[in-house]
Amino acid sequence: MGTGVRRWALPVAAVLAVLAAGYAVWAGVSWWGASSSDSVAYARERDEVLRVGQVGIANFTTLDYREVDRDLDRWLDTSTGALRSEIESDRAVRAKQLADARTVTESRVLDAAVTELDDRAGRARVIAVVETSVMPEGGQSVKKVDRYQTELTRTDAGWKLSALGPVRAGGA
């Protein structure tokens, strides 16, 4: 009986080795196909839009009356289109309003999502929940939570905010 088992052991081992090698090739080809597919590129683009949207919203809702020029420069760096034009056209008025308010705001994005992404057209939309601490000079800090929606446009320098506004209660 020992010779019968030995007689079958080598062919069975060879078949198992061929099957394992075939499975390894199939798994490798499948993995390579998935990693280079359009869906992976789209997911990367979505992740980048989400990151830029979160940073942009935080930039626009974080202000320090002692550093108005720095903050307005940050707004310009993260914006494009009509939003950027609006900031540029009334920069002096905004700077005076912000300095006169003598308030510091610090914001952080609590949650955000990409609600729309057209990577071919270079347009996207992000919504976010933002917690902002408002600290008037000499006053008590107050925390508030707001929802924002931003539109993003892809530029030669990457994604930038092209519109930003609050989301009204009951609306999206």
Q: What is the 3-state secondary structure (H, E, C) of the chain?
A: CHHHHHHHHHHHHHHHHHHHHHHHHHHHHHHHHHHCCHHHHHHHHHHHHHHHHHHHHHHHHCEEHHHHHHHHHHHHHCECHHHHHHHHHCHHHHHHHHHHHCEEEEEEEEEEEEEEEECCCCEEEEEEEEEEEEEECCCCCEEEEEEEEEEEEEECCEEEEEEEEECCCCCC
Domains of the chain plus CATH, in order, are 39-166 (3.10.450.50)
What's the pLDDT band for 3 if we cut at 50, 70, 90?
A: low
| Cα gap 133→112, rounded to integer Å | 18
- Residue 152 CB coordination number (10 Å): 30
pLDDT digit string, tens, across residues 117-137: 999 999 999 999 999 999 999
| Cα gap 79→56, rounded to integer Å | 8
pLDDT digit string, tens, across residues 53-85: 999 999 999 999 999 999 999 999 999 999 999
Q: What percent of the chain has pLDDT over 70?
A: 92
pLDDT digit string, tens, across residues 36-54: 667 888 999 999 999 999 9
- pTM, entire model: 0.77
pLDDT of 33 higher than 80:
no
What is the rounded average pLDDT of the residues 154-170? 93
pLDDT digit string, tens, across residues 82-125: 999 999 999 999 999 999 999 999 999 999 999 999 999 999 99
